[in-house]
Structure 1
Amino acid sequence: MGMLILVAGLVLFLGMHATRIPNDQRRSGMIARLGKNRYRTIYTVVSIIGLVLVVYGYGQARLDPVFVWSPPAATRHIAALLMLFSMILLAASFVPSNHLKAKLQHPMTLSVKLWAFAHLIANGTLADIVLFGSFLVWAILTFKSARKRAIPMGFTGDGPTKVGTLMTVVVGVLAWLVFAAWLHVHLIGVSPFSR
């Protein structure tokens, strides 16, 4: 039952976040038909329901895991290192005026891609493969679609700065340390550095 709930959640959550992948006209058409505020409301509500189902379904699936493969212990350490870069990329999407955002254009999507890949190599249950594999495929397709649209980031002022880039790295590293040392084990129940 947990797997069905997980899959349903992924369909809702990633489905809502994939409306621009085929082409931007589909999303624009929906906004034109529904109106911007109504579209945003539906988008938000469906995304929240999907996310809740993903979290609940994954939690339930972990109670009765189906093991597909047994990852070597080293993959956890590799995943922890990849997560450091993922957190820096995530920070790059929020910290203003940084070179990473200017260069990569879509650091949050790249962050999700790294997050999904890192967790995919370090976990071997069917639920892990479905969850992280789905997010990895979504991130790859979304990044490719976004690059095709070539949407400029629209920096204001003088553009990216060394200070902005340094702050991005600092924020990313701090977030990684807090999550790896404390939050991950409290939220997920697994220490990233355990064997």
Structure 2
Amino acid sequence: MIFLIIGLVLFIGIHSIRLIPGGRNAMISGFGPGGFKVLYSLISLVGFGLIIYGKIEAHPTDSLYYPPEWGRTLALFAVPAALILIVAAYTPSHIRRFVQHPMLLAVVLWSGAHLMANGERAAVYLFGAFFVWSVLTLIAAFIRGDHPPKPPEGWGGDVVAIVIGALFAALLARFHLYLFGVGIIG
């Protein structure tokens, strides 16, 4: 499980640079804008790879708790909503305007739903780390006073977010067993 933990530290650590006052600007000053992007991307990719490898290697681990029976049902609704929010984060939409931080809220929904559906130690480390990080980062974003983008003219971005997010959710449900070892649909 050490690879999972190292991966989480790297991935979440580099994504937490904005939580340190002046941390992002200091790194950009030190490495230059291009160097910062390369370093950020490299650390993110290595961390992500270690998370995947570490989770596969650690599976199965002992259970820390028995999730409630409704946890899987919650995930069936929360994960598609999270996927719609992820698409909305990159699309000019009313969803993005209303939510303000759709990517962070998506991670809260995704990780929180998985914590309610799975009590296995490695899963708790994985989803718990992302849940805590996303909640803290969301709070910090609101404290910073990040402003939502201007509302779009039409509803096309919302339709795109919903359709593509729902399509990703359907594909993920279909292939979840093959990708992660846990079946979602029969």
TM-score, normalization: structure 1?
Answer: 0.88
Count, aligned residues: 186
Q: Which amino acid aligns with 1:46?
A: I
- 1:76-100 CA distances to partner (integer Å, 9 max, x unpaired)? 11111111211111121122x3101
Q: Which amino acid aligns with 1:120?
A: L
CA RMSD of aligned residues (A): 1.6
1:80 corresponds to 2:72: no
Distance verdict in 2 for CA 1:127–1:174, change over 3 Å: same
The unaligned stretches of length 5 or more in structure 1 are none
8 Å CA contact retained: 1:98, 1:165? yes
How far residue 166 of structure 1 moved from its aligned partner, in angstroms, is 2.3
Distance verdict in 2 for CA 1:154–1:71, change over 3 Å: closer
Alpha-carbon separation, structure 1, partners of 2:107 and 2:184 = 17
Select which of 97, 107, 126 maps to 1:131: 126
Q: Which runs of 4+ in 1 moved over 6 A?
A: none
Q: Which amino acid aligns with 1:75?
A: G
Who is 1:18 aligned against? Answer: 16
Q: Which amino acid aligns with 1:47?
A: S
8 Å CA contact retained: 2:100, 2:149? no
Alpha-carbon separation, structure 2, partners of 1:147 and 1:89 = 17
Q: Which amino acid aligns with 1:164?
A: G
8 Å CA contact retained: 1:5, 1:57? yes
- 1:17-70 CA distances to partner (integer Å, 9 max, x unpaired)? 0000132x111011112211111111111111111111111111114x111122
Aligned-pair identity (%):
34
1:12-161 alignment to 2 at 5 Å? 12-23=10-21, 25-63=22-60, 65-95=61-91, 97-155=92-150, 159-161=152-154
Alpha-carbon separation, structure 2, partners of 1:151 and 1:124 = 34
Alpha-carbon separation, structure 2, partners of 1:129 and 1:22 = 26
Q: Which amino acid aligns with 2:8?
A: L
1:184 corresponds to 2:146: no
How far residue 154 of structure 1 moved from its aligned partner, in angstroms, is 4.2
Q: Which amino acid aligns with 1:90?
A: I
TM-score, normalization: structure 2?
Answer: 0.92
Q: Which amino acid aligns with 2:122?
A: A
Who is 1:164 aligned against? Answer: 157
Alpha-carbon separation, structure 1, partners of 2:105 and 2:57 = 28
